[in-house]
């Protein structure tokens, strides 16, 4: 599986291949200092890169970059409850499943955008009270959220001062109905 940047809505400072490589290397260095064995082709790493871009932390030389990294790293270190209602599923497992599924979708040819993985995973994790990881509908929700991402492109996230994910995701029930609107 290959990860790359989605150039739609990509900030100017990440438009060149050299800038993208420098950004990825800066994130990799921080990731490896906080989580041994992480490689560039890990879905956990790709989710962190995507979240940083979505959250606007795209300049590794900025004084706020490391704060942004640690906020995202804390988010990715979390877990959700599985379909049995008891077992904790690490978010990294969710990222791996999401990346595996997306890479198989028509047109992807084994490639997943960093921002795509981050946004779809965040939507799924925000919706686990309706459709938990491991339920039979979870994989279909990956498709629903990915179709929305591919149609509308990456969106910037909003964060509160406590640095928690605050964007209201579109929630779909088991019948496929939308139960809340998503902010633009």
| Predicted confidence (pLDDT) at residue 165 exceeds the cutoff of 90 | no
Among 39, 44, 49, 35, which residue's Cα sits nearest to residue 4?
49
Pairing of strands 79-81, 88-90: antiparallel
Say what the pLDDT of residue 157 is: 56
Give domain limits for the chain: 2-152
pLDDT 10s digits, 74-122: 999 999 999 999 999 999 999 999 999 999 998 889 999 999 999 999 9
């Amino acid at each position: 599986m290959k990860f790359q940047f989605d150039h739609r809505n990509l900030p100017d400072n990440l438009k060149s291949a050299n800038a993208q490589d420098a950004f990825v290397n800066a994130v990799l260095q921080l990731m490896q200092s906080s989580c041994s064995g992480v490689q560039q082709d890990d879905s956990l790493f790709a989710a962190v890169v995507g979240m940083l871009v979505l959250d606007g932390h795209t300049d590794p030389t900025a004084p706020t970059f490391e704060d942004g990294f640690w906020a995202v790293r804390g988010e990715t270190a979390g877990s959700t409850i599985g379909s049995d209602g008891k077992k904790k599923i690490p978010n990294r497992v969710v990222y791996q499943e999401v990346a595996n599924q997306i890479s198989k979708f028509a047109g992807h040819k084994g490639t997943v955008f960093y921002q795509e993985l981050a946004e779809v995973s965040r939507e799924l994790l925000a919706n686990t009270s309706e459709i938990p990881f491991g339920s039979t509908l979870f994989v279909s929700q990956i498709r629903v959220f990915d179709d929305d991402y591919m149609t509308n492109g990456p969106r910037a996230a909003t964060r509160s001062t406590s640095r928690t994910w605050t964007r209201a995701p579109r929630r779909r029930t088991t019948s496929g109905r939308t139960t809340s609107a998503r902010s633009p």
